[in-house]
């Protein structure tokens, strides 16, 4: 029995000291591109969602952070032998939190899910024949939105990862790169 415990000891020490892909003190910046979601909210997407974010580890399973995104879409339709065009731009700022599931000695995979709250600033412009039935040629508005996400990062090196997220918010599918700072 004593021999068995001595053989087991190195594995226990290694497991206790091994680094996981997510750690409490981590700061991770990510840049990505989104498909669906805000870009194309009205009409067809002319620029997919471009996003940047920063997450801070605050607990051994929880991170909080911020995200910003930009996108645009357009609508074109012919009527009365003329082409009417509307262009929409979306600028989003938000805060989010994530729960990191895989706390096993694995330096490659970080699997997480979370929620956030954001503010979307939307502007619209009209490009076509003289104002359409007296409507303004530009408009803007903004609103709060709730977001959810589930995703993962795969670390190719200790500080460089690729990520993918599914959810509702900036984009339905977001993919990109992440850097541990």
pLDDT at 17: 43
Q: Which residue has the tokens 């339709």?
A: 77
Between CA 101 and CA 152 the distance in angstroms is 10
- The DSSP letter of residue 156 is S
- The DSSP letter of residue 143 is E
Q: Give the 3-state secondary structure of residue 14.
A: helix
Q: What are the per-10-residue average pLDDT scores of the chain (181 residues)?
A: 40 46 90 78 75 94 95 81 83 95 79 95 80 66 91 94 91 94 92
- Two structure tokens written together for 4: 């068995």
Domain locations along the chain: 32-180
Assign domain 32-180 one CATH number from 3.40.50.620, 1.10.10.920, 2.40.160.20, 3.30.70.1400: 2.40.160.20
Q: Are 43 and 73 in contact (CB under 8 A)?
A: yes
47: which strand partners? Answer: 72
Between CA 139 and CA 88 the distance in angstroms is 9
> Residue 113: which of 122, 101, 105, 124 has the closest Cα?
101
pLDDT at 30: 97
- Two structure tokens written together for 34: 């989104």
CA angle 75, 76, 81 (to 5 degrees): 155
């Amino acid at each position: 029995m004593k021999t068995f415990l001595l053989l087991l000891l190195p594995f226990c020490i290694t497991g206790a000291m091994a680094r996981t892909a997510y750690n409490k003190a981590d700061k991770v910046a990510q840049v990505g591109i989104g498909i669906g979601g805000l870009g194309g909210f009205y009409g067809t997407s002319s620029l997919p969602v471009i996003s940047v974010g920063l997450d801070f580890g605050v607990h051994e399973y929880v991170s909080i952070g911020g995200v910003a995104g930009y996108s645009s879409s357009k609508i074109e339709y012919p009527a009365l032998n003329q082409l009417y065009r509307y262009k929409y731009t979306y600028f989003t700022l938000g805060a989010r939190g994530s729960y990191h599931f895989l706390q096993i000695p694995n330096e490659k995979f970080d699997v997480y899910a979370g929620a956030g709250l954001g503010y979307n600033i939307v502007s619209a412009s009209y490009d076509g024949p003289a104002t359409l039935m007296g409507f303004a040629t530009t408009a803007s508005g903004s609103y709060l939105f709730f977001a959810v996400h589930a995703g993962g990062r795969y670390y190719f090196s200790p500080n460089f990862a690729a990520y993918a997220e599914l959810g509702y918010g900036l984009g339905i599918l977001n993919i990109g790169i992440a850097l541990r700072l």
